[in-house]
Amino acid sequence: MDLIIGGAYQGKRELSKRKYGFSDADIYTCGEESGIVFGARCIDKIEEFTLKCVREGQDAVEIFKEHRGEWQDSVLICQDIFCGVVPLGADMRAWRETTGRLCAFLSGEAVNVFRVFCGLEQRLK
């Protein structure tokens, strides 16, 4: 599994297309309503999955652990929401914390971790 992180609109999805040859059809985009499909080749917007988990009282890290075999060959993309100004609302702080904990877990599991900033790729692992 490879993990790609970075801020909003920094080029994470474009990097996955260029680096791995994905088309739009290869990339599953998480949504608060749709949840997640662990078996997709590329899973984008992991942070939307963590928001769904926070709102439903579920542990995103444990869910990923339970489905480990399904995403081991995938590329995962997550927006960096765990830096910067701390949100005022308790639910948004929990979302930020959950996303940070999940990315810490995923980076430990990943073969490669890339950060994208201004369209530039930085290999972290």
Q: Quick count: other Cβ atoms within 10 Å of Cβ 120?
A: 11
Q: How confident is the model at residue 38, as a pLDDT?
A: 94
> Structural domain boundaries of the chain?
2-83+93-123
Domain 2-83+93-123 has CATH 3.30.499.10: no
Q: What is the pLDDT along the chain (125 residues), one digit of tens a residue?
A: 999 999 999 999 999 999 999 999 999 999 877 789 999 999 999 999 999 999 999 999 999 999 999 999 999 999 998 777 777 888 888 999 999 999 999 999 999 999 999 999 999 99
Per the CB < 8 A criterion, the answer to whether 64 and 53 are in contact is: no
What whole-number distance in Å separates Cα of residue 80 and Cα of residue 75?
A: 16
Per the CB < 8 A criterion, the answer to whether 15 and 116 are in contact is: yes
Per the CB < 8 A criterion, the answer to whether 109 and 10 are in contact is: no
Q: How confident is the model at residue 84, as a pLDDT?
A: 74
Per the CB < 8 A criterion, the answer to whether 28 and 38 are in contact is: no
Amino acid at 121: E
Tokens of 50: 């963590």
